[in-house]
Structure 1
């Protein structure tokens, strides 16, 4: 028993030392159930394009690992090249940050089966997406109803649906704004502001960027939000 405990401690020590020696601060592990052969690409957006920053070959073992250096929490994408088809279910976004992140999913349902742990930003972003999906579902239902109303030229129904869609949009923007303000100590706050409500009234963007903690304000997305606010303010002042 003493030997087993000592061996376990030694193994953990070796793993810890190897991570420190690598000089990388982001350690990604995962498993894609059912994947026997393929290639994984870890990507991020550079300018407006997705760029691969690491490549992982899968051949027999569906488990994978990667070590990267990340300067600021950022949205990354795990892209699966199936080698056979370019399915829409091939690109899995995850909010990367320094530390240990684990991604478990399946080959058949690559994005919908995903379980991602180890990132506080990812955890909060997942909560945001669940609520945002409800607004999207409600709007899709109204789009279908609107299409049927157009076919019958039911103007009264069309107007009613348009008003309902406007109310959904208002609620979605209000939710995104409150989410950003309630998570001002996380980088997901400016990210949501930039990607979900960039065209909201400028005063709300101002409130969000002013509420950010100093750490978040100095992050990549924090700096982008501040620049975005300043650029929009100049444009609107010049009109």
Structure 2
């Protein structure tokens, strides 16, 4: 009898802790991974260059899942699928989370490629940016192929030509990203792109992005990080 009472108390305690966690959460994530009957999901975020787990969800028969997390401000999260013994590189799904209700729908077969995420304006903007940024990546891969081919039979003229193409591509990518960030400076995507895509751009461009941000964005996680990064860059440039 005593064991039964203790077991019931444990269940009540776990339930109470879960309810308290949900009550403090400001991001409600629901989703469905079609075709997944067993596995484990990990909701993660990048903290000091290391991925930390915010929540773990066990899938056993039902492909639908739900998670509640608390974020100080919108930020990029990662939904990682542990397929067990099955090896696949298509296991990580990045998405720009923000307070509110977010819905994730995808498939087991094409976890990343089939993903449809709704409920986050920052994520919508990230997808819009990534659609053109993918063209820059494709062009860069083509240049890398040319560079490798040229290394087999070195030709100084070809080497210079490839380097010039690369520098032009880099400038176009940097200018496009900076313009996109300034145009969407009322969203946390702006400082995120500045830090993740064009951190090496000239400081005045970063300054322009920072000055364009709204007060709310400036106080966000990425807004504060951008401010600190720019201050560090300026200090290093002064010492040179």
Normalising by structure 2, what TM-score?
0.89
CA offsets, 1:152-201, max 9 Å, x none? 22322222121111111110001110011000000000000001111110
| 2: CA distance, partners of 1:43 / 1:171 | 32
| 2: CA distance, partners of 1:182 / 1:160 | 33
8 Å CA contact retained: 1:149, 1:155:
no
Is the counterpart of residue 187 in structure 1 residue 188 in structure 2?
A: yes
CA offsets, 1:29-48, max 9 Å, x none? 11111111000000011211
| 1: CA distance, partners of 2:160 / 2:234 | 34
Is the counterpart of residue 82 in structure 1 residue 75 in structure 2?
A: no
8 Å CA contact retained: 1:177, 1:208:
yes
Instruction: Kindly state the Cα deviation for residue 86 of structure 1 after the two structures are TM-superposed.
Output: 4.3
After TM superposition, the structure 1 stretch with the greater mean CA deviation from structure 2, 145-154 or 216-225, is: 145-154
Please name the residue that 2:4 is paired with: none
| 2: CA distance, partners of 1:155 / 1:231 | 38
Instruction: Kindly state the Cα deviation for residue 22 of structure 1 after the two structures are TM-superposed.
Output: 2.5
| 2: CA distance, partners of 1:169 / 1:192 | 15
* Count of aligned pairs: 222
Please name the residue that 1:131 is paired with: 132
Please name the residue that 1:161 is paired with: 162
| 1: CA distance, partners of 2:35 / 2:156 | 51
8 Å CA contact retained: 1:31, 1:64:
yes
The 4+ residue runs of structure 1 with deviation greater than 4 A are none
C-alpha RMSD of the superposition: 1.7
Please name the residue that 1:113 is paired with: 114
Is the counterpart of residue 231 in structure 1 residue 232 in structure 2?
A: yes
SS at match of 1:92: strand
SS at match of 1:84: coil
Please name the residue that 2:33 is paired with: 32
Structure 1 residues not aligned, in runs of 5+: 1-17
Matching of residues 40-79 of structure 1 within 5 Å: 40-79=41-80
8 Å CA contact retained: 1:24, 1:69:
yes
Instruction: Kindly state the Cα deviation for residue 231 of structure 1 after the two structures are TM-superposed.
Output: 1.1
CA offsets, 1:45-67, max 9 Å, x none? 12111011101110111111111
SS at match of 1:57: strand
Normalising by structure 1, what TM-score?
0.89
Please name the residue that 1:103 is paired with: 104
